[in-house]
Amino acid sequence: MNRSKILAKAKTWFPFYIFMLPGIAYLLINNYLPMLGLYMAFTKVNLVDGIFSGEFLGLQNFKFLTMSSDFPLIIRNTLVYNLIFLILNPIVGIALAFFMNELGSKKILKCFQTSLLLPSLLSIQIITYIVYAFLCIDTGIMNKTILPTLGLDPVKWYTTPEVWPALLIFVHFWMRSGFSSVVYFSSMLSISPEYYEVAELDSASKAKQFWYITLPLLKPTIITLMIISLGAIFKSDFGLFYQVPLGNGALYKTTQTIDTYVFRGLTGSGNLGYSAAAGFLQSVIGFVTVILANWVIRRISPDDAIF
């Protein structure tokens, strides 16, 4: 290519690189620099002087992290909660979407959709207050109204770890089911009504229509959402697990996840080196899981892979 052609090309495209610049610079700072910082997990973490100034420790942080009693706990909690969410999310979402689809009336549908979506507008702080209004030891609705009505003794919710798995799962679905039901509902709407008309002619029952038409056609959406959740299987909703139980140490057994553990390293109530190691594992394993999940899907049904 001669000089003038290159110049012309540069002149055409130059403005677009200027367009890109702020965004690319931001991602570099916000996303790529911290990747470099993953190196910290192999050093004696020093947040004051710099990443590379900490003494190199090799795998020592990992060794101590995996030997600590916290390790099996945070892995178990993170994985088990996520597996439960992973399995129940599509079931709850599709069930609600199915009900919405049965309504027929747009007005009624809108009412339900609005109410189901309300929690998506609430910050985790508000959710924390709502939960607190129910569970507060002396003034909560559970202890003051519901349990006495049922003739049961009050429960010290915020110091009883056993009740939290059920609570957290409930709160998770309280916050998110509206959101996922709307996603499934919109993909149900895109199914051509002709399929159902033909099924009606064959007098297939509703259950059969759902099983043989709706579900298979929702498969791509289900798979996409599942790959996304699989990629996040070592991540947890920090707000749900840290803020909703009020960061309470007495509840660690059932509320401590990798994210809350990493954060506690930062606040000084944990070990920073172990936290960095846990964060490293979370990033790397999360990456591997999503690649693996996508690879498996590509093998089974290539059309459904997301990249």
Task: Write out the binding residues for other proteins, residues 269-298 only, by CB under 8 A.
Answer: 272, 275-276, 279-280, 282-283, 286-287, 290-291
198 and 208 Cβ atoms separated by less than 8 Å:
no
221 near other proteins (CB under 8 A) = yes
Rounded to 5 degrees, φ, ψ at 43 are -125, 175
Strand ranges (DSSP E) for 50-195? Answer: none
Segment interacting with other proteins, rule: CB under 8 A, options 57-65, 74-82, 120-128, 159-167: 120-128
Question: Rounded to the nearest whole angstrom, what is the least distance from the CB of residue 211 to other proteins in the complex?
Answer: 14
Q: Is 166 one of the binding residues for other proteins (CB under 8 A)?
A: no
**CB-based contacts of 304, cutoff 8 Å, min separation 6:** 219, 220, 223, 224, 297
Query: d(Cα 93, Cα 85) in Å, to the nearest integer?
Result: 11
**Binding residue for other proteins (CB under 8 A) from 74, 100, 230, 297?**
100
Q: Does 71 contact other proteins by CB under 8 A? A: no
Written as one string, the DSSP assignment of 43-69 is B---TTT-GGGSPB-TTHHHHHHHHST
| In the complex, least distance from residue 48 CB atom to other proteins, rounded to whole angstroms | 7
Q: How many CB atoms lie within 10 A of CB 17?
A: 10
The number of beta carbons lying within 10 Å of the beta carbon of residue 225 is 18
By CB under 8 A, is residue 179 in contact with other proteins? yes
Q: Is 304 within 8 Å of 219 (Cβ atoms)?
A: yes
Q: Binding of other proteins at residue 192 (CB under 8 A)?
A: no
Q: Which is nearer to other proteins, 95 or 166 (CB)?
A: 95
Nearest to 185 by CA among 121, 305, 90, 86: 90
Q: Of 11-19, 60-68, 82-90, 249-257, which part binds other proteins (CB under 8 A)?
A: 11-19
Coil, helix or strand for 244?
coil
Please tell me whether residue 268 binds other proteins under the rule CB under 8 A: no
**Cβ at position 307, least distance to other proteins in Å:** 7
* Cβ neighbours of 88 (radius 10 Å): 14
CA nearest neighbour of 159 among 134, 137, 128: 137
Binding residue (CB under 8 A) for other proteins from 84, 103, 169, 213: 103
Chosen residue from 80, 266, 292, 296 binding other proteins by CB under 8 A: 266
Minimum CB–partner distance for residue 77 and other proteins (Å): 17
For position 190 contacting other proteins by CB under 8 A, the verdict is yes
**Sole binder of other proteins in the list 98, 157, 164, 241 (CB under 8 A):** 98
Residues 6+ apart with CB under 8 A from 75: 258
> Smallest distance, Å, CB 281 to other proteins?
9
Task: Tell me whether residue 300 or residue 307 sits nearer to other proteins (CB atom).
Answer: 307
Stretch of 46-54, 56-64, 161-169, 191-199 contacting other proteins, by CB under 8 A: 46-54
